[in-house]
Structure 1
Amino acid sequence: MRFLATFQTLDFLDTLISLCAAFVLGMLIGAERQYRTRAAGLRTNVLVAVGAAAFVDLAMHLKGVDGAVHVMAYVVSGIGFLGAGVIMKEGMNVRGLNTAATLWSSAAVGCCAGADMVAQAVALTVFVIAGNTLLRPLVNAINRIPFDERSSEATYSVRLTAASAAADSLRDHLEQRLEAADYPVAEIEVETSDLAPDKVEIVATLVSTSVEPKELDVVVADMGRRPGVDHATWETSTKD
């Protein structure tokens, strides 16, 4: 059998150490995720770390350092597809970005372990866990700071609900009113509703700039008094 002819005890022990290190370190990262009931928990992070370690270790034994580097590049791109699967968009909110980043980091830990850089894998694990735990109080403190629209990097839009018959004139007037207030318009869309065929929603997206909320309130109030307008409002959303 070719296995008996090619089996090397030291090589096998080297592989075993790499896989065990990836398993333990991936388990530490995954345990924190499991405790917080994230989509990718204990088992997922362990499998990502062990799988990455196995691929890199195999390449190391077959092609040396050059082979390991090539495999790492594929691991990085492959984990990108896996991470995309846990990212979900719900309206204007995006969930799962932190989980995807953690999976990416678990793969990096596995790559270090597979490349026989166990000390670096341990150090990276410490940083990953610290990022997911020690930074939480700082994140919560920042989130409690009152939101300042004037200094935020965000996308602003003005929405009008109006009669479809007046859509064209209201669209032009809204664009003129915003530009007169020094808020240039990036685009204006007119959206129809299947539930109310005689109504449309006019959405004006502003060019990214600093905004004074009171000024937009004045524009919205003025548009709300226009004939044919049922409702007028403005809203903000983050760019990322």
Structure 2
Amino acid sequence: MIGRLLLAALLGGIIGVERDLHGRAAGLRTHILVSMGAAVFTLISIYLSGTGSGTERVGDPARIAAQIVTGIGFLGAGVIIREGMTIRGLTTAACLWSAAGIGMAAGAGYALVAAVATAIALFSLVILKYFERIYHKDSYRILIITTA
């Protein structure tokens, strides 16, 4: 169990370092805590669901998992900021959501899934950022015309 928590913290920290290097509000510590916290809740849900006597199941592990997703949604919404015509923080919110998913995978014992998801997240954050600079994006503007 400790290994799963450490893996979740390590993988969440890897994503957090990338966010920290770019000066984002949710950085290393936040991503470690989100990933590790999701792993803890996942571990608890797995072990509580099997603590009944005999074949009786006490709880449903999917309920806690659903609440992790909901809670991280609220946390992610807190980092999204609208400034005039631009919206900031969407990538950081998505990173927090991904870190929670990675933590859940690590907590459930799916180390390979957690590692591959971390690699895909890093690829998206580092490599695809350069690719986005190459291709042309449509730009939308609001034109206000006033007449005298």
Superposed pair shares fold, TM > 0.5: yes
Q: Which residue of 1 aligns with 2:46?
A: 60
Equivalent in 136, 144, 148 of residue 159 of structure 1: 144
Answer 1 or 2: higher relative contact order, Cα 8 Å, separation at least 6. 2
Q: Which residue of 1 aligns with 2:65?
A: 72
| 1:21 matched to 2:7 | yes
- 2:17 partner letter: A
Count of aligned positions: 141
Gaps of 5+ in 1: 1-14, 162-228, 231-240
More helix by share: 2
| 1:82 matched to 2:75 | yes
Equivalent in 118, 131, 148 of residue 138 of structure 1: 131
Equivalent in 27, 30, 37 of residue 41 of structure 1: 27
Gaps of 5+ in 2: 51-56
| 1:97 matched to 2:98 | no
Is the partner of 1:94 in helix, strand or coil?
Answer: strand
Q: Which residue of 2 aligns with 1:127?
A: 120
TM-score (norm 2): 0.87
Higher radius of gyration, 1 or 2: 1
Q: Which residue of 2 aligns with 1:222?
A: none
TM-score (norm 1): 0.55
1:63-120 deviation line (CA, Å, top 9, x unaligned) = 1497332211111111110000000000010000000000000000000011111111
Rounded Cα–Cα distance in structure 1 between residues aligned with 2:143 and 2:20: 41
Is the partner of 2:60 in helix, strand or coil?
Answer: helix
More strand by share: 1
RMSD over aligned Cα, in angstroms? 2.0
User: Given that residues 109 and 124 in structure 1 are in contact (C-alpha distance below 8 angstroms), is that contact kept between their aligned partners in structure 2?
Assistant: yes
User: Given that residues 68 and 115 in structure 1 are in contact (C-alpha distance below 8 angstroms), is that contact kept between their aligned partners in structure 2?
Assistant: no
1:169-213 deviation line (CA, Å, top 9, x unaligned) = xxxxxxxxxxxxxxxxxxxxxxxxxxxxxxxxxxxxxxxxxxxxx
